Amino acid sequence: MRRELLGAAARDTSATEAEARAEQGALRVRELTASQLLRVSDLEGANPPAALEGSDLERNVRDRVLTTTLDKAVAWARSNSFFPLSFGLACCAMEQFQTAGPRMDIARFGYEAFRASPRQADLIILAGRVSIKMAPIIRRLYDQMLEPKWAISMGACCSSMGVFNNYALVPADKFMPIDVHVPGCPPRPEALMHGVLKLRKLVQADPDLGWRERYGALGTEEKPLDA
Amino acid sequence: MRTTRQPGVSEGRAQVPGISHPDGEAPSGESADGGLRQELLTLNFGPHHPATHGVLRLLVTLEAEIVRDLKPVIGYVHTGIEKTAEDKSYWKVIPVVERMDYLSYYFNAMAFCSAVEALAEVEVPSRAQYLRVIHLELNRIASHLIWLGTGALDLGAVSIFLYCLRERELILDLFEMSSGQRMHTRYFQVGGVIEDIPSGFERKLREFIAVMPKRADEYAAILRSNEIVLERLRGTGPLDAETLLGLGVTGPLLRAAGNPWDLRKAAPYSSYGDFDFKIPIGTVGDNYDRFAVRHAEIYESVRILEQAIDGLPEGPFITTDRKVALPPRHELATSMEALIHHFKLVTEGFRVPPGEVYEPIESPRGELGCYVRSDGSSKPARVHMRDPSFVNLQALAHMVKGGYIADLIAAVAMLDPILGGIDR
Amino acid sequence: MPDAPGLELLAKELGEAALETVYFRGRATLIVDPQRIRWVLGELRARGYRFLSSVHGVDHYPDEPRLGVIYELLDMSRVDRVTVKARVPLGEPVIDSVTHDGSDGPGWPTANHQEREVYDMFGVTFRGHPELRRILMPEDYEGHPQRRDFPVGGEPVHFTYNDPARRAASR
């Protein structure tokens, strides 16, 4: 199907489009461009539309395709085997247990290896409310984790302030970068699973942008104001 | 190297192998002459630890593997619940206070609602009382299941954790049936419960009642005759009832030491006097007794559930006092007073006459008391939850002094602390 | 709970240490002089109230004396509860700790953490407490959160009506 899309007739328009989007650095687009270039460079006598010439082009193409395929493979492997840090703070930890329990089995997806040491974990699920006494400790744990690492903020208390908007709590965004926020108080195991699977798609560089993608509303996200 | 164990425990239990001096003479404990000098090591069981139940930090002073001193450091999940509760109307305090001891959420709500009912002199109809008892006992079983699961996990029995979670799913299904939420259900309201149980709840509850004792038998069969469990729990962390009473400890910890104090029997509230159930007590007060007492309480709770659902009376599920409880929705279309009551209750909330009240109930961890001070307005002036885990934690140091680190882990597991309640 | 006459008798036996009695909703409260708190609790212990259930604080803003420390006592053999309340002024919030054993009798070990919590949340200093430091808040925290004039705090929620930047962005 891609061959038709990149057929000689459509090549020009799709190429400019692809270039435009390639500037945004989308992985899939780079991959598309690279494979298009590869296919085109295979054809004898064809004029490659890319900006690179000759040996540069060949090297670029070889690197691009290799890296992107390797990247993709690595991302697939990483996303299917998160090692969550066994880290529960409060009530959400109880629902985190249930997610690891027999009904909503997190092991189905490969994430049952909860590691106690942050050095061995790559996913920290902040399950529960973060108090001001605990925040520096969580930051330290997060710093001790090795790259690549992701963070899920589970529940309303750490994502926003939750039920308790008072002196004792800190929203997790204030001291560490969070990849996925899971709403709920506490979120059902299904909701946590949904959040983890969203992270999985994010890691596979195929972020699920949800309804914004379907309705063409990209760019309408509310940006956090600098406090 | 001398081995110090608590008296009454068999001496042959464990000898720490002596660290022998190159000359062949075993050194004495802390003296510097002749043998190897030993220092006390202070180890930090940090707030992030797989075996502390929640974010509990323990500063443990060790001599080789023997615990000499223990200092708990808490406050890592302090949420300012009591302060937030002063800012909200009485109705809105219920979900805030529920999230305190996050495994026994119905008990938190029950303590608070009982205190406000005492202050506002609101009668709870008997159907509501029975429904409350049903949910309280279900919550007790759920709390004991998590305790058993995580406790066994600490000891190394990982499969029990999954079995307990499987049973807990049944209970959470029942909660979802009656209130729509699995945890923190806001089911208890001042004056009764928010909604009557739906049809199908009784059938599902009876299925649960039939199944739970068998599952509890399974856990006993796996754990009770397991040599590792017995070795780790028998004789470790003993504490006698006198010390426990001085430390203010109540609940299964006190009952394991032989004192049958249970508020459900001593000062029955919410129709607990109608039910026939036993109080399991232990003899020695070691970790094994604590385990056995809580395990036996599961059976007793199932008995209470059976009697409650058998004898569930007809009647209203919340008080008919419209100044405190919302009128049923169908009345809003026809009655002006109902509309006004609804409006006032939802916007401002009900006012409670000024006064102070302390209302204790028996939670899975001990005496859970709620102190409410009202100044006549629609928001409480002070809400304080006397959490059992907060007080029971003081007993931990006494339990493990002179024991091994492994006994410390078992003691923390059998103590059943819930940090949400400790830190509030 | 001792009934109302029983409470009055108790207060009479305690003499001038008992400032006031309150019998409310079937529950008995004795308001006592904070200087005599150890003696009062010892006397009650001699009368059978041997279990200290709870030690907690309350802020009677704006009435002085503002800070109150409340002791809940329980007699297990008769299932009897009595509340003892001691009020200290904000200017000098000091009261004797009941945790440690003293020359005037044994202490109540259960009050250890609970008095630390009252100190942390209200700022009441307990004389003689073995280890009076903050228990729930970080060690270097300033302020006593549970006092009524301490703000609830929290993160502001930005709506368009209270945040000019959002109002500008939404236009």
Tell me the pLDDT tens digit for each residue of B105-134: 999 999 999 999 999 999 999 999 999 999
pLDDT at A1: 38
What ipTM was estimated for this complex? 0.90
Chain A residue with Cα closest to C142: A167
Residue for token pair 């209200």: C122
Residues 173-232 of B with CB under 8 A from A: 182-184
- List of long-range contacts for C58-62, beta carbons under 8 Å, 24+ apart: C58/B356, C58/B371, C58/B373, C58/B381, C58/B382, C58/B384, C59/B382, C59/C122, C59/C146, C59/C147, C59/C148, C60/C87, C61/C147, C61/C148, C61/C149
Q: What is the mean pLDDT of residues C148-162?
A: 80
What is the arithmetic mean of pLDDT over C119-124? 92
Omega before residue C62 within 30° of 0, cis: yes
Distance from CA of B356 to the nearest CA of C (A): 8
pLDDT of residue B257: 92
pLDDT tens digits along A19-47: 655 555 555 655 556 556 555 444 444 45
Nearest CB among A93, A95, A164 relative to B80 is that of A164
Query: What is the chain B residue with the closest CA to C144?
Result: B83
Helix axes B158-179, A91-100, angle to 10 degrees: 110
What is the predicted pLDDT for the residue at A179? 86
Place of tokens 């029983």: C6
Q: Output the pLDDT for position B9.
A: 35
Residues B148-156, mean pLDDT to the nearest whole number: 90
Confidence of residue B72 (pLDDT cuts 50, 70, 90): very high
**pLDDT for position B314:** 92
B309: Cβ–Cβ under 8 A, 6 or more apart, which residues?
Answer: B134, B202, B205, B206, B209
Smallest Cβ–Cβ distance between C54 and the set B357, B369, B382 belongs to B369
Contacts of residue A49, Cβ cutoff 8 Å, sequence gap at least 6: A11, A12, A15, A40
Whether C14 has a pLDDT exceeding 90, the answer reads no
pLDDT: which is higher, B143 or A18:
B143
State residue B11's pLDDT score.
36
Partner-chain contact B74 C136, CB within 8 Å: yes
Kindly indicate the confidence band of residue B358, based on its pLDDT and cuts at 50, 70 and 90. very high
**B408 SS3 class:** helix
Judging contacts by C-beta atoms under 8 Å, the chain A residues touching residue C160 are none
pLDDT at residue A6, rounded to an integer: 41
Mean per-residue pLDDT over chain B, rounded: 87
Average pLDDT, chain C: 86
Position B371 confidence tier, pLDDT thresholds 50, 70, 90? very high
| Full-model pTM | 0.84
pLDDT digit string (tens) for C87-113?
999 888 899 899 888 888 888 999 999
Q: Decide: residue B122, CB within 10 A, 0-12 exposed, 13-18 middle, 19+ buried.
A: buried
Contact B47 A137 (CB under 8 A): yes
| Mutation site, B69, B92, B247, interface C, largest C CB count within 10 A | B247
CA distances from B125 to B312, B365, C2 (A): 12, 27, 27
The per-residue pLDDT for B156 is 87
CA-nearest residue of chain A to B99?
A91
Instruction: Spell out the long-range contacts of B220-225 with Cβ–Cβ below 8 A and sequence spacing 24 or more.
Output: B220/B295, B222/B157, B222/B159, B222/B160, B223/B152, B223/B157, B223/B160, B223/B291
pLDDT of B12 > 80? The answer is no
Q: Which H helix or E strand runs over A84?
A: strand A84-85
Contact C155 A165 (CB under 8 A): yes
Residues above pLDDT 90, as percent of chain B: 62
Residue C19 CA to residue C85 CA, distance in Å, equals 10
What's the mean pLDDT in B213-221?
93
User: CB atoms < 10 A from the CB of A21, how many?
Assistant: 15
* Mean of pLDDT values over B241-254: 92
Residue B281 pLDDT > 80: yes
Confidence of residue A74 (pLDDT cuts 50, 70, 90): confident
Higher pLDDT, B194 or B26: B194
The alpha-carbon gap from B329 to the nearest alpha carbon of chain A, in Å, equals 26
Beta-bridge partners for B189: B192
Report CA dihedral (A29, A35, A40, A43) to the nearest 10 degrees: -170
**Chain C environment of B358 (Cβ under 8 Å):** 27, 54, 70, 72, 81, 83
Name the strand (E) or helix (H) holding C32.
Answer: strand C27-32
pLDDT at A15: 55
Between B208 and A221, name the one with better pLDDT: B208
Residue B304 reports pLDDT greater than 90: yes
Q: Looking at residue B29, what is its pLDDT? A: 44
A62-66, B310-314, B356-360: range with lowest mean pLDDT: A62-66
- For the cut 70, the answer to whether the pLDDT of residue B352 exceeds it is yes
**pLDDT at B396 (0 to 100):** 92
Please give, rounded to a whole number of angstroms, the shortest distance from the CA of C52 to a CA of chain B.
6
pLDDT tens per residue, range A75-84 = 888 888 889 9
Q: C75 φ, ψ to 5°?
A: -105, 110
pLDDT higher than 60, residue A216: yes
Q: A167 CA to chain C: closest CA distance, Å?
A: 4
Q: Find residues 350-409 of chain B whose CB sits inside 8 Å of chain C.
A: 355-358, 360, 367, 369, 371, 373, 381-382, 384, 386, 390-391, 393-394
The whole-number average pLDDT for the span C47-57 is: 91
pLDDT of residue B140: 95
Say whether residue A220 is in contact with chain C using an 8 A CB cutoff: no
Find all residues with CB under 8 Å of B194, minimum gap 6, and list them. Answer: B179, B186, B187, B188, B318
* Residues of A in Cβ contact (< 8 Å) with C138: 132-133
**Which pLDDT belongs to residue B216?**
93
Average pLDDT value for chain A: 76
CB contact under 8 A, B78 and A168: yes
On whether any CB of chain C is under 8 Å from the CB of A51, the answer is no
In B269-308, the residues whose Cβ lies within 8 Å of chain A are none
Which tens digits make up the pLDDT trace of A108-148?
Answer: 998 888 888 999 998 999 998 999 999 999 999 999 998 78
What value does the mean pLDDT take over residues B208-221? 93
Burial B90-111 (b: 16+ CB within 10 A, else e): bbbbbbbbbbbbbbbbbbbbbb
Q: What percent of chain B has pLDDT over 70?
A: 91
Mean pLDDT over residues A75-99, rounded?
Answer: 88
Residues 6 or more apart in contact with residue C132 via CB below 8 angstroms? C97, C115, C116, C119, C125, C126
pLDDT tens profile B34-49: 567 778 889 998 888 8
